[in-house]
Every structure is written in C-alpha cells, then in structure tokens.
Structure 1
Amino acid sequence: MNARRLIPTAALAGAVALGATALTACSGATAAGDGKDGKLDVVASFYPMQFLAEQIGKEHVSVGTLTKPGVEPHDLEITPKQTAQLGEADVILYLKSLQPAVDKAVAQSGVKNTVDAATLTELEEHGTSGQAHEGEEGHEEHAEGDGHNHGEAGADPHIWLDPVKYAEVAKGVGAALSKADPDHAADYKKNADELAAKLAALDTEFKDGLKNTATKTFITTHSAFGYLAERYGLDQEGISGVDPESEPSPARMKELQAVSKKDNVSTVFFETLASDKTAKTLAQDTGLKTDVLDPLEGITDKSQGADYFEVMRSNLKNLQKALGTK
C-alpha cells in the first residue's frame, strides 16, 4: 500500500451572506435568478460540489456551477465579470487547491458564506510507487503524482472518489446550508443524512466487490484514485504523473511495463475528459487492454452514467473486470 500522511482539517467557517443572484452554468456570461423565488443561491465550483448542493438542497436551492460539462476542472479560467457575478451568491461551495482560478475568484468575491469541502474531512498525501517528479520545484511530493498544485504539503484533493470521505463532506455541506438558510435546516439535515446513507451503501458495494481479486494494482493516466485505492486495499500506478494527456517519460514507461508483468496487470485506464493516447501507447507496448476509470470531475454524454452514483458503479465494474474479481 502507498504511504499516507494525514493533514489536519481546518474548522469550517460559515456565515450568512445576503445575495440576489448566482452564476449559472458557467460560460460565465449571465447570472440566474432574481432572488424573488426565495431559493438559496448556491454556486458550486465543479461537478462533485454541484452534486452535493443539488442532492442536499433540493427544492430549497438554485445551483449554478463554474465548470461547464466537458471542461477539465484544473484548466478552468474565470473572468473578472464572472468573479463579480460570483459575489452575488448566497453560498459558494468549492474545493480549495483543486482549481487555483476558483480559489482566487472566491477570495475576491466578498461572499462570507463560502464552504471549502477540503475542511470537512481529512486530506491525505498519496504517492504513486516509483514515480518521480523531476523538475517540479517546490512540489517534490505531489498529491497522487498528478502534478497539479494541491496546496499545503501536497495534499490530494480527490476526496469525492472515496464514498466515506464524500459522505463526511456531505454532512458538512448540510450543516453549512442550514446556517445559511435556518428556515429549512431540518430538510438540509435530512437530505444530507439520506445522501450519507446512500454513500455508505456504495462503500459496502466497493468493499465487497473488490475484496477478492487476482491483482491489487491498476494503472491509470490520471492519478486521481489514491483515496479509492487506499480505502479498498488497492495500489494505483499513474502513467505520466503531470497531466492526463502529457507524454510519459521513457523511464516511466519502462517502470510500468515491469509493474504490469510483476503484478499481473491486465488493463490501462484512461478518463473521459482527456485523451486516451498515453493509455493506448502503454497498452500497445505491453499487450494490455484499455478501459475507462472516470475521476468524476464532470458529467458529459460520454460518461458511463448520468450521475455520481451511476459513474461510480461503472468504475467498480471496470475495476472488477481489470483486477480479476474472484
């Protein structure tokens, strides 16, 4: 298993900010709602945060997202106009360090009721075995080795891919919405508890489904699955370590060829929002298959499911097939 180091959580700070409109789907050109429908205006940074807001807020909230479907969240850029519109939200739900542009916009927005999902559970560091990060000054230990700036001490932000941690975040979001909209606090708590129960059931599905496998090692272009691997006793090996679409070094390819033989790896995974070029390159060199392991950073018509739960269950099936479930 990969070593991990827990990073203490910060306390959630939330206060009610009165606002009238929220940013919509996120090309950023327009704002939605005029505040007359009585709903809480929530802006989510990207899909996993949007899903929480919708599932917990339901009819009491109007949810917009900063990241359009199909856009790689790490690459998001936000205009000054969008930042100004962001300041009109009642609540901002984001994951600090995942999207630097969002962090900057949130800081400039002036909205007091901001919810950083990273403060609602414990972040960990994950390292991909044998993977170096040459030339990345100041970031010798990157979260999951994917090369993004993940903030303090290389903490891995991909918490939503662990149903247990995602459930912890869900409860924190429920509490934050209750503070922002006390009149509907009971509904927010009920919805958050129901979502947490569904996530607990999903956790059981993964635990049972990955208990007995021929191998515990999987190879993926986007090293986003450290929490999932840690939770279910698996080992993740990332290809390039810097970007899902970047070319892996010859040395890394050689390492992975050796790993695939040693650990009886059958499949190289790629994701829906990035090219499968690197996965196919390694697969051709090693005689392996390719398949999708979706980091769930966005839902598109190419996704193997319509929402978080459907895609996670598709991920489980693909892992079971690749790892040789007994």
Structure 2
Amino acid sequence: MLRRAVLAGLTAGSLMLSTACGGDGEPAQQQRQADGRLRIVAGFYPLQYMSERVGAEDAAVTNLTQGGAEPHDLELKPSQLAQVSDAALVVYLNGFQPSVDEAVRLQAKDKAFDVAAVERLAAGGEHGGDPHVWLDPVRFAVIVGKLGERIAALDPANADAIKVRAGQLQDELHRLDEEYTAGLRTCARREIVTSHAAFGYLAGRYHLTQVPISGLDPDEEPSPQRVSQVAALAKEKGATTIFFEALVSPKLSQTIAKEIGAKAAVLDPIEGVEDGDDYVSVMVRNLAALREALGCT
C-alpha cells in the first residue's frame, strides 16, 4: 500500500531523529519551536483540545486530522510524518487511527502518550472496544491529569503552571459530569438510538441504553434485519428521536425516524468540531439533545 511505502521510505531518517532524544528527559532542539514552546502532535480533536488546554502558551499543538475529516480514515502525508518525528510528544489513541499507530511505532515510541493505556478500553465487555472514552467526562478527566504530568515532566521550568491548567480542566470536566448526572436523572425513556455504536461510555456513565443501528465502524453497513430490529425496538420504546452524527451520513437514521414517526437529530461523538465550537460546548449541546429526546424533567 502507498501509505506503507511512504512510511518505509522515511523510517531510517525519522528513526535517526527520534532516537536522538529521550522520551521524558529534556526534549531535543528540533522538538521545540523557535520560541521555546514544546512541539506536541495530537491524533484527532479531543486529544488536541486537552493538549492545548494543558499546554497553553507553553506548547505548540498540531492536529493530524483536518477539521471536518473522519479521523478513522486518516492517511498521513510525508509532512505529517515529519511532524510526528519532530514532536516532543505525540498524543494518540492506539487502535483508533491505524496510520498514526504505525507512525508512532516507527518514529515516536519513546515520546508517545497513549490515551488507551491511561484509561484502558474494554476489549469485549460492556462497551465492546468502543474507543470514544472522551465522551465520559470522568474518564476524560483522568486522562487530562496524566497528560498534565507527562507535559510537566518534559517542561520542568513551566511544570507548576502546566499542572494548574490540567487541574482547571479536570474541574470543568467534573462540573460537566454533574450537569449530565442531574440533567439525565429523571427521564421518560433511557434508550438512545444512534447511527453507530459510539456512545457506550456516555451511556454507561449516565445509566442509558445505547441502541446502535451499526457497530463501532461508522462505515459499516448494517443488515436489513438489523435496521428492522432497531426500528421495531425504537417504536416499542416510544423513541421520539433517532440520532445521527455530524461526520456520518444521516440517511439510515432518517429512514428509521420516518418509519416510526420520529425525528432525526445530531448526537455528536466529538471526533471533530466546527469553527466556534469546542469540546465543552458540544457536550452541553449533546446534553440538551438527549434531554429533549428522552423526555427528561
């Protein structure tokens, strides 16, 4: 494959760069901007968000996934491979973006922060390997704390400020959790019908039941039998809303909604955001959409 060929062609030079520096020691010169800020590379939006909040003026954060793009399908360009090689820290989620996983393995093993190693993803339990751990604010807060420790270790001169910012973001996430807990405590329904199985952690945290039309892969085509099953269950439970995602086609959700007399609406897995939005604002919007769909008081 082209991606593998590109990676192979750059491996030798990239490895020479990456082995010239330590993982948790003082970063090499190329791992800092000219103004002294740490170079941090994030695989996709939620990881960019927490890196920017924690690193702030002490870090220059690059998101490998362009706005509006589906992060699962990312194919790295040579320029992005160079960014991985030159980074002081690569923040990624192992198993979510294969091209990033491979770049980390070849070029950034000793300077990678793997979200999946901080908050281990269920391999086959209640969430079925769902990688969308950031949709649970409590789990996300744990990850933020660990990221703060890692960035602080790379930048001792600014360690205190970095840890303070990590704590501030954790406080915001815990307040968000409190809003969700209160907002979803008393609802007429507790089933959320979604276009794909991205909301397992959110559902588990707030005692909801996710009913996905398709599995964890947003490109997976559900069988006609599955679509019929979901439509029947949604009608039986009195669902008023069938959710779809901002980066995925709404057609299936709209079809089921029309069939049972419901409406289709967005429930965002926050894999990317539009200009003017951020993680917290989209989570607040998701809460409002859930409260309306579930008849919460």
Question: Which TM-score tier does this pair reach, normalised by the shorter chain?
Answer: 0.7 to 0.9
8 Å contact kept, 2:194–2:242:
yes
Counterpart in the other structure of 2:190: 216
8 Å contact kept, 1:178–1:185:
yes
8 Å contact kept, 1:45–1:93:
yes
Counterpart in the other structure of 1:323: 294
2:24 to 11, 15, 40: 15
Q: What is the letter of the counterpart of residue 84 of structure 1? A: A
- Displacement of 1:96 after TM fit? 0.9
- Displacement of 1:106 after TM fit? 1.0
Counterpart in the other structure of 1:181: 155
CA distance in 1, matches of 2:92, 2:212: 26
1:311 pairs with 2:282: yes
CA offset digits 1:157-209 (Å, max 9, x no partner): 11100000000000000000011111111111111111001000000000000
CA offset digits 1:229-279 (Å, max 9, x no partner): 000000001112254355431111111122112222111101111111111
1:293 to 250, 255, 267: 267
8 Å contact kept, 1:17–1:112:
no
Q: What is the letter of the counterpart of residue 254 of structure 1? A: S
CA distance in 2, matches of 1:196, 1:158: 18
Within 5 Å, give how 1:79-228 maps onto structure 2. 79-110=77-108, 112-125=110-123, 144=128, 155-228=129-202
CA distance in 2, matches of 1:217, 1:126: 21
- Displacement of 1:111 after TM fit? 5.6
Structure 1 unaligned regions, length at least 5? 1-12, 23-33, 129-142, 145-154
Change (3 A) 1:273 1:85: same
CA distance in 2, matches of 1:35, 1:274: 36
The answer to which structure has the higher helix fraction is 2
Change (3 A) 1:201 1:308: same
- Displacement of 1:20 after TM fit? 4.6
8 Å contact kept, 2:240–2:262:
yes
CA offset digits 1:284-317 (Å, max 9, x no partner): 222211110000000124xxx6100000000000
CA distance in 2, matches of 1:299, 1:20: 32
CA offset digits 1:77-131 (Å, max 9, x no partner): 1134422331011111111111111100111114622100112223225778xxx
CA distance in 1, matches of 2:170, 2:27: 28
Q: What is the letter of the counterpart of residue 99 of structure 2? A: A
> How many corresponding residue pairs?
276
Structure 2 unaligned regions, length at least 5? 1-21
Give the 3-state SS of the residue equivalent to 1:87 in structure 2: helix
Change (3 A) 1:59 1:250: same
CA distance in 2, matches of 1:126, 1:162: 18
Change (3 A) 1:271 1:20: farther
Q: TM-score, normalised by structure 1?
A: 0.80
8 Å contact kept, 2:39–2:88:
yes
Q: What is the letter of the counterpart of residue 292 of structure 2? A: K
Taking only the aligned residue pairs, the percentage that are identical comes to 42
